[in-house]
């Protein structure tokens, strides 16, 4: 894996034909991470949305992807329109807990655990400053490793657009893209601009033990 590879799509050369779990049976594409490998912000959703499953590129091809791309644009991370097929992203990387989508069900915990080495490798290679868990399941999955709180103590609607001090990273949780209103998306953008960009958020860099 080469962190200097210029292509933003699957820059670490992860297995694009992965058959390690049952999710592979009904997927269209394996969807590994996409974006700036030197990015300070890492956005993590639970699984590819329908558009990403079709395109193979995270957060493209549908309304949830367009919503995240809009937020990335407002924050200065994306130079392209929200419906871009291949977004031009800087200072941010987008990925998932699981790399395949079953159209009829969410991933089992075992399937999430099977995909975990992919996410661990991306986190190690990127070494972000800020992690954005998108949705309750992602927040709970990261809680044990990166916070001092119990997973069940988190509620994504309460934690949305807030900053959580973690172990080596700061987390800024985000509600599921499918359930966000425009006001929710605007609140997230406002929080990052007013409470993160306004200070030295880089102070936690390099402290993770993972």
Q: How many domains does the chain have?
A: 1
**Cβ contact 100:47 at 8 Å:** yes
What confidence score (pLDDT) does residue 169 get?
86
CA separation for the pair 84, 70 (Å, rounded): 10
Q: Would you tell me how many other CB atoms lie within 10 Å of the CB of residue 210?
A: 12
Higher-pLDDT residue of 205 and 68 is 68
Q: What is the pLDDT of residue 168?
A: 80
3-state DSSP call for residue 136?
helix
The domain in which residue 84 lies consists of: 22-198
**pLDDT, position 1:** 37
Q: Is 6 a domain residue?
A: no
Per-residue confidence (pLDDT) for residue 182, from 0 to 100 = 98
Domain membership of residue 29 (yes or no) is yes
Rg, the chain, Cα only = 16
pTM: 0.92
Q: Which of 72, 80, 30 is nearest to 52 (CA)?
A: 30
Enter the tokens of residue 102: 């079953």
- 201 pLDDT band, cuts 50/70/90, is confident
pLDDT of residue 179: 96
Task: For residue 163, tell me if it sits in a domain.
Answer: yes
- Judge whether 15 lies within some domain: no
pLDDT at 204 over 50: no
Judging by beta carbons within 10 Å of its beta carbon (0-12, 13-18, 19+), is residue 169 exposed, middle or buried?
A: buried
- Within a domain: residue 156? yes
Residue 184, domain CATH: 3.40.470.10
- Residues 58-85: what's their mean pLDDT? 97
Q: What is the predicted pLDDT for the residue at 5?
A: 53
Task: Kindly state whether residue 3 falls inside one of the protein's structural domains.
Answer: no
Which two tokens mark 166? 């973690």
Mean pLDDT value of segment 186-201: 93
Phi-psi region of 114 (alpha: psi -120 to 50; beta: other; left: phi over 0): alpha
Checking phi first, is residue 158 left (phi over 0); if not, alpha (psi -120 to 50) or beta?
alpha
For 161, the 3-state DSSP assignment is coil
With CA atoms as reference, report the closest residue to 20 among 135, 107, 137.
107
Which whole number is the average pLDDT over 63-89? 97
Give 138-186 pLDDT, tens digit per residue.
999 998 888 888 889 999 999 999 999 888 889 999 999 999 999 999 9
User: Has residue 210 got a pLDDT over 80?
Assistant: no
Residue 207 in any domain: the answer is no
Instruction: Judge whether residue 208 has pLDDT over 70.
Output: no
Q: Report the candidate in 100, 116, 119, 103 with the shortest Cα–Cα distance to residue 23.
A: 100
Q: Within a domain: residue 54?
A: yes
Confidence of residue 99 (pLDDT cuts 50, 70, 90): very high
Angstrom distances, CA of residue 101 to CA of 3, 25, 52, 134, 194: 26, 9, 9, 16, 35
Is the model's pLDDT at 87 over the cut of 90? Answer: yes
User: Helix (H, G, I), strand (E, B), or coil: what is residue 10?
Assistant: coil
């Amino acid at each position: 894996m080469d962190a200097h590879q210029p292509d933003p799509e699957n820059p670490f050369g992860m297995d694009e034909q992965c058959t390690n779990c049952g999710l592979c049976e009904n997927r269209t594409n394996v969807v590994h991470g996409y974006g700036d490998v030197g990015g300070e912000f890492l956005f993590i959703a639970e699984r590819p949305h329908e558009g990403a499953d079709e395109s193979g590129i995270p957060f493209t091809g549908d309304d949830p992807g367009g919503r995240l791309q809009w937020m990335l644009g407002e924050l200065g991370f994306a130079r392209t329109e929200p419906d871009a097929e291949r977004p031009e992203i800087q200072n941010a990387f987008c990925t998932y807990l699981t790399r395949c989508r079953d159209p009829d069900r969410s991933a089992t915990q075992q399937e999430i655990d099977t995909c975990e080495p992919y996410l661990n490798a991306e986190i190690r290679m990127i070494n972000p400053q800020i992690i954005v868990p998108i949705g309750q399941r992602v927040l709970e999955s990261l809680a044990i490793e990166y916070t001092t709180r119990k997973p069940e103590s988190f509620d994504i609607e309460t934690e949305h657009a807030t900053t959580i001090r973690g172990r080596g990273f700061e987390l800024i949780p985000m509600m599921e893209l499918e359930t966000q209103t425009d006001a929710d998306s605007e609140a997230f953008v406002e929080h990052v601009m007013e409470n993160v960009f306004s200070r030295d958020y880089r102070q936690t860099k390099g402290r993770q033990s993972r």
